[in-house]
Chain A
Amino acid sequence: MADEKKPVKLPRTAKGKKPVYFDTTTDKLISMVLTLMGEVSVMRDRLDTVERLAAKKGVFALDDVETYEPAADVVKVRSERRAAYIARVLKSVQDELDALQAKDDGMNVDVVS
């Protein structure tokens, strides 16, 4: 199984100068809104899958969803998923931080040498 092997991290940001369309902050907001658009769509699809499967198999009634209370381990899983979600939406902010960090590192090297 792939999951038992060493996890891989692939590059996520393309090398090259990023154009400025409005200003850097507005551009980031556009990225955030579009990413959210995508994620809402993904969530709606997933919910649609669940609803259809539930209906098809007669697994649960709608009322079961309304009265559901998550256990501690479920709360933890949801929290981790939410953290990954937030990082995805705020990727443009992280990109800038990474670039600043890279510059800082370069300057420190200069100072030391």
Chain B
Amino acid sequence: MIPQKMHAMFAKPNHDEASRQEFVNDFRVHLASKVFPGTFPTYFGRVLPAFVKANGREPKDRHEIRKVMTKDSFYQLWSAMQRNSQEMIWDSVIDSVERQLPDLMDRAKHTKGKGSLTLNPDVVVPKYHTAADIHLQPGAYHTDSGPDDLAAGAIYDRGTYIYSMGGLGEENDGLGRILHKFFRKQYPDMKVARVLDMGCTAGGSVTYWSTQEPGTEFHAIDVGAPCLRYGHARAKAVGGNVHFSQQNAEKTNFADGSFDLVTSHILLHETSRPAIYNIMKECYRLLKPGGVMMHLDLPQAHGQTPLEGFLWEWEIYNNNEHFYGQLRELDMVDVVTKAGFKPENFKVHQVSSTWDDGQTPYSTENFTFPVYVAVK
């Protein structure tokens, strides 16, 4: 595994913790490169022929494929191992965060830097976060053991690095780099006085943005207090300048027309269908006339073959990404139109998952993230 870049808030693993984390990474690389590809010959070689023989036709959608593939022994074993590897990521990271937590909380207080942190204990963590711990991180983003707890953020920052097998870059902020690069490609001369990032978790993306646009005031919100505490401390440690506050993106306390740009990085698929409608309405309210919103997220179901759709949805059924299923089916034109945007001012871009020329992409060579862009 390519080493993750150290900073004052990084929960540095000791010898055995590092070894355990390296193992999980190498195991997942093996699963992705040697085992997962076996799902294709499994499907085309035996599952599909058996389906055709029994039904006289091919499966009509991804749901029919799931019914038969989840009974196949190869798929079951890959799936069980993949699930276990996800659990092992968190377990290996929690070891080092748990051991150092009092020290990390101290470091957060003493790390000097820019930006601010405003917590609001009255914020209710929505059901789509409390129903199940998203992508199996025990305690999820919001479990808060006390006034200085930042464990969830520290765990997320290291866990997602291992999850992506280092694919988010040595500073684990690749999503921010991808969206910022796209933003400046689309709007090279746009002046942005104030930016809001919604659902910022550990703040890696927005912190990167703040280092690239030094004249801009950056705000970032999330419902999870421990993530915000960590995010603020991390931002200070790496030279960012972000004002973090605990707020739900569905309804914030910012005034109408507060921002030139509103962003999110893989937020929407972890909220519900009604929440996405609310978030888009809130974006419309928060933007100045001529302001832009950009939401980078995971692919929707349309445009995918039934097999691709089925494989993408492994995360929904096996990795506690239940709400991703709602985003996959949503009519985004309807969503943004109901929010107030004109349909002609809305576009879905497919954005490359690389940020440097010649860089190894996040996943496969052609992998792109959809980015939902609308101008007020």
Contacts and interface: CB of A to CB of B under 8 A. Distances in A.
A9 B151 CA distance: 10
Contacts of A35: 84, 88
A19 B84 CA distance: 11
10 contacts: A10-B94, A14-B137, A19-B318, A21-B83, A22-B80, A31-B84, A31-B87, A38-B27, A45-B15, A91-B91
A14 B133 contact: yes
B99 A30 contact: no
B334 interface: no
A111 B256 CA distance: 54
A13 B138 contact: yes
A16 B129 CA distance: 11
B163 to A, nearest CB: 14
List of 10 A-B pairs having minimum Cβ-Cβ separation, nearest first:
A16-B132, A2-B103, A5-B102, A14-B133, A21-B80, A11-B139, A45-B19, A14-B136, A11-B138, A42-B19
A21 B91 CA distance: 21
Interface residues of B, number: 46
Contact of B76 (A11, A17, A22, A37): A22
Nearest to B84: A34
B90 to A, nearest CB: 7
A34 B133 contact: no
B143 interface: yes
B27 A37 contact: yes
Nearest to A1: B103
Nearest to A32: B84
Given A8-B98, A16-B320, A38-B88, 10 more contacts: A10-B94, A10-B138, A12-B94, A14-B90, A15-B138, A19-B79, A21-B79, A30-B81, A34-B27, A42-B19
A6 interface: yes
Interface in A23-58: 27, 30-31, 34-35, 37-39, 41-42, 45-46, 49
Given A11-B138, A16-B133, A22-B80, A49 B101 contact: no
Specify which of A6, A17, A21, A91 lies most central, judged by the most chain B CB atoms within 10 Å of its CB. Answer: A21
Contacts of B139: 10-11
A19 B317 contact: yes
Interface string B123-165: 0000000111100111110010100000100010000000000
Interface of B: 15-16, 19-20, 22-24, 27, 76-77, 79-81, 83-85, 87-88, 90-92, 94, 97-103, 130-133, 136-140, 143, 145, 151, 155, 317-318, 320, 322
A2 B100 contact: yes
Given A14-B137, A15-B132, A45-B19, A30 B84 contact: yes
B23 A27 contact: no
A35 B100 CA distance: 23
Contact of A46 (B16, B140, B145, B320): B16
Contacts of A46: 15-16, 19
Contacts of B88: 34-35, 38
Contacts of B100: 2
Nearest to A50: B15
Specify which of A5, A16, A88, A91 lies most central, judged by the most chain B CB atoms within 10 Å of its CB. Answer: A16
